[in-house]
Amino acid sequence: MENRILLIDKPAGMTSFGVVARIRRVLSEDPQYAGGKKVKVGHTGTLDPFATGLMILVIGKECKNAAKYSKLDKAYEATIHLGQTSSTADPEGEMTKISDKKPNHQEVKSILDRFVGEISQRPPIYSAIKVDGQRAYSLARKGQVVEIPKRQITIYSLDLINYKYPEIKIRVHVSSGTYIRSLAEDIGKALGVGAYCKQLRRTEISNWRVKDARKLSDFGIDS
């Protein structure tokens, strides 16, 4: 495992930094692996605490290549909840009811099709993006106005798995830098009903698959 990558299936309710810290501790405490030395471990792109799925951890000298992995395309499965918005665009925020309108299946499919291709997207204010040297989520939590410019991202495919109001389940393949929470909000706006991302699972990073990842329990870590 030394100087290589490690695929982890992150559980819900844990930060990406929490995953890294737990794996670092386990490896550093393993006498057969580290010999009592602290092991260097990093991640290659955060997953929100409510989200689950594939993380690529870099270990030892491979940490210097973290940026290479962070720029790879990714695939997700997500559940979008219609009719409400969230201050954080996920289940952990303050909810606001927007509409009782129930879009039909064809309306939903038509709107989803509009988002395929290169589009402009504004990342959520509750994100790790730095604004004036500080994390956007830190400023937002202080009640400060956060202005994050839009960015160009690419949605290679967006497939409807299931729609039963108020939930839309989708599978999406996107470029690096895409926020699925923002995509959920934008879909809600386009439908005129509001929405937030209720569930999110990262299933792929380039050619790596979550089915090949190890769980924290494999390392004796309680999640």
Using alpha carbons, select from 182, 159, 183, 184 the residue that is nearest to residue 83.
184
Q: In angstroms, rounded to a whole number, what is the distance separating the alpha carbons of residues 147 and 207?
A: 34
**Which amino acid, one-letter code, is at 203?**
T
SS3 content of the chain, % helix, strand, coil (to 5): 25, 35, 40
User: Among residues 9, 30, 48, 100, which one is catalytic?
Assistant: 48
Q: In angstroms, rounded to a whole number, what is the distance separating the alpha carbons of residues 78 and 59?
A: 29
Give yes or no: 222 in active site: no
Q: In angstroms, rounded to a whole number, what is the distance separating the alpha carbons of residues 182 and 16?
A: 19
Q: In angstroms, rounded to a whole number, what is the distance separating the alpha carbons of residues 158 and 109?
A: 10
Residues belonging to the active site: 48
